[in-house]
Structure 1
Amino acid sequence: MALPQPAVSAASIAHAPPGFKFRPTDEEIILHYLRPRTVNAPLPSSFIVDVDVLSHNPWELLPEGSMEKYFFSQRVLKWPLGNHWNRAAGDGHWKTSGKDVPIFCGRVNGGEPLMIGSKKTLVFYHGKSDFGENIEWVMQEYSLVGAGLTPYRVMRPSGSNHFGESSSAAVAITEKNDNTSEALNNNAKFPILLNPDKSWIVSHIYKKRNHMPQVIAQFYNSAEGGQVPFYNFLEQGNSRGVRK
């Protein structure tokens, strides 16, 4: 069953207007960003950029004043013949935390929802594996699984051969089409089916925040003249108290 194709605007958005927050859903990240990126197809915006996450400490990746950012990156196997991804990065390593969360797309043609991706949470530890210190940096790693790895339909100009690493395979597919020669002569566009490269991921990196506000005890004089403790949970107010 074919997955819905993302709509791509003519102009790629590079800068957000004031007050804009990039808050894509898990499904949108998989369908509109990760799947197209795995076959080098056009993207709906340029908010997610390519970065080698493993070459940096997480705090080096975020622009000044930012608390979070999304990146495209490619995973690398820890051993050439193994099936575990390398997690060493910068001066430490990323360690998985909790269970993977499946990502589903909406019903396609009235059918059942399809699992298209997976979201894994990792925490950054400063230092060598198993002996590092948790320094409160978190990465949510989005990857393609299940239906997300089905061939992706890409429109390519017939007069070009920009198929990336899948060039020879893509050309072989088109040569089997009886109408290919006619399309080449007319310089038209025709669809190509490419298999997504599952090494590509989207990394959502952010600094963990302390959501529990510090409780500050303050005092003010009651009508009877006694002192009653007042707790300012918003960390605001006059430390000398408020006279009633």
Structure 2
Amino acid sequence: MAASHPIISGAPILLEPGFKFRPTDEDVVVHYLRPRAMNAPLPSGFIVDVDLLSHNPWELVPEGSAEKYYFSRRVTRWPRGNRRKRAAGDGHWKASGKDVPIFSKGINGRVPLMVGLKKTMVFYRGKAPFGENTEWVMEEYRLAEAGLMPGRVMRPREGGSFGKCGCAAAVIAKKNDELSEALRNAIANLNKVPVLENPDDSWVVCHIYKKKKKCAMPRVVAQSYNIAGGGQVPFFDFIGQGNPERTASSSSSLTGPPSEKENDDTGGSTNEKACSGEGK
């Protein structure tokens, strides 16, 4: 098998203000993982190669970023085994939950096909099966079923000669720096032919991020009532609201202690007069 090389370098890319890299699961598998597994050109350089097992997750997410996508290769524990190595950095990755299937939209009304699987893992400090749970999470995307079917890619023609136009092509090739990108691509494709190639299922895309902490809601409701009610927490009269006989007397849903304006000249309250029969 020929050596696999990154198609696009890992140089930092300047994004336009407000632009966010938010691919769907289908985008990750169809437009990034499958081309990388076939050593084909990628749509962009937002996802780069990394040896995941050599780093801690906090070393892979740049400062100021909330998440990061990487290409990585799965490594088996034994030459003929199917179990993968999960030890990484100062700890290990542990699977959480079941694999989630990823489907590609059907073309011309066809039934969607499953192209990949997504596994969620949590990073633990220390050696397996023990360790301290952390807030770092990884979503691992891998190819499955239709995603592993052979695909057509452009490969150099055997022999590597330009044929009759060898002299002209050699002259043009020396001046590639002065040519446009479209012309350089056309020259590069002169000696390529389409071939069928099977994807390398060892490639995966790793989405690494830190789980957000759940903040408890501050208890400021009663405090705000105390401030608004002059130190008294108002009471909501649910029974009075539902009683038609008391609708006229309960003009406000919030009832509090009687104010000084409700007292008459003799110092007695209006409620006391109503009970004693005065004022009728």
State TM-score, norm by structure 2.
0.64
* Greater than 6 Å deviation, 4+ residue runs: none
Deviation at 1:19, TM superposition (A): 1.2
Match of 2:93 in 1: 94
Q: Mapping of 1:50-65 within 5 angstroms?
A: 50-65=49-64
Larger of the two Rg values belongs to structure = 2
Residue 135 of structure 2: aligned partner: 136
Q: Cα distance, 1:157 vs. partner?
A: 4.2
How far has the Cα of 1:110 moved from its partner? Answer: 3.1
- C-alpha distance in structure 2 between counterparts of 1:44 and 1:155, whole Å: 16
d(CA) in 1 for partners of 2:74 and 2:42? 20
**Aligned residue type for 2:112:** P
CA distance in 2, matches of 1:107, 1:78: 37
Aligned positions, number: 193
Higher strand share: 1
Which residue of structure 1 lines up, in the alignment, with residue 105 of structure 2?
106
Structure 2 residue aligned with 1:233: none
Which residue of structure 1 aligns with residue 174 of structure 2? Answer: none
Hey, what's the Cα distance between the residues in 1 that align with 2:229 and 2:212? Answer: 41
Question: What is residue 124 of structure 2 aligned with on the other side?
Answer: 125
Q: Following the alignment from structure 1 to structure 2, what is the Cα–Cα distance between the partners of residues 109 and 76?
A: 38
Structure 1 window deviating more from structure 2 (38-47 vs 14-23): it is 14-23
**How has the CA–CA distance of structure 1 residues 39 and 215 changed in structure 2, closer, same or farther, with 3 Å as cutoff?**
same
Which residue is equivalent to 1:196?
A: 199
Q: Identify the residue that residue 80 of structure 1 maps to in structure 2.
A: 79
Aligned pair in 2 of structure 1 residues 103, 228: CA closer, same or farther (>3 Å)? same
Amino acid of the structure 2 residue aligned with 1:54 = L
Q: Distance between the aligned counterparts of 2:70 and 2:36, measured in 1?
A: 11
Which residue of structure 1 lines up, in the alignment, with residue 208 of structure 2? 205
Q: Give unmatched runs, 5+ long, in structure 1.
A: 1-11, 162-185, 230-244
Q: 1:37 to 1:227 in 2, by over 3 A?
A: farther
- Cα distance in 1 for partners of 2:229, 2:193 equals 85
Partner residue of 2:217?
215
Q: Secondary structure at the match of 2:32?
A: helix
Please give the per-residue CA displacement for 1:81-130, whole angstroms capped at 9, x wherever unaligned: 21101000001000000010000101134321111000000000000102
Q: In 2, distance between residues paired with 1:138 and 1:153?
A: 35
Any conservation in 2 of the 1:73–1:200 contact (CA below 8 Å)? Answer: yes
SS of 1:217 mapped into structure 2: coil
User: Corresponding residue for 1:226?
Assistant: 231
Give the C-alpha shift of residue 202 in structure 1.
0.1
Task: Tell me how far apart the structure 1 counterparts of residues 102 and 159 of structure 2 sit (CA, whole Å).
Answer: 35
Corresponding position: 1:44 with 2:43: yes
Letter paired with 1:215: M
Q: TM-score, normalised by structure 1?
A: 0.73
> How far apart, in 2, do the equivalents of 1:28 and 1:160 lie?
36
Q: Which amino acid aligns with 1:120?
A: K
Contact 1:69 1:204 in 2 (8 A): yes
Q: Secondary structure at the match of 1:204?
A: strand
2:263 matched residue in structure 1:
none
Are residues 92 and 228 of structure 1, via their aligned partners in 2, closer, same or farther at CA, if it must alter by over 3 Å?
farther
Distance 2:101 2:229 in 1: 60
**Cα-Cα RMSD:** 2.2
1:170-200 deviation digits (Å, cap 9, x = unpaired): xxxxxxxxxxxxxxxx945321111000000
The 2-side partners of 1:86 and 1:122 are apart by 13
Q: Any idea what the Cα deviations from partners look like across 1:30-61, whole Å, max 9, x if unmatched?
A: 11000000111110000001000110000011
Task: Determine what percentage of the aligned residue pairs are the same residue.
Answer: 64
For 1:39 and 1:86, the matched residues in 2 are separated by 23
Q: Where in structure 2 are there 5+ consecutive unaligned residues?
A: 1-10, 161-188, 235-280
> 1:224 Cα deviation (Å)?
4.2
**Structure richer in helix, relative to its length:** 2
Secondary structure of the structure 2 residue equivalent to 1:216: coil
Instruction: Confirm or deny: 8 A CA contact 1:117 1:143 kept in the other structure.
Output: yes
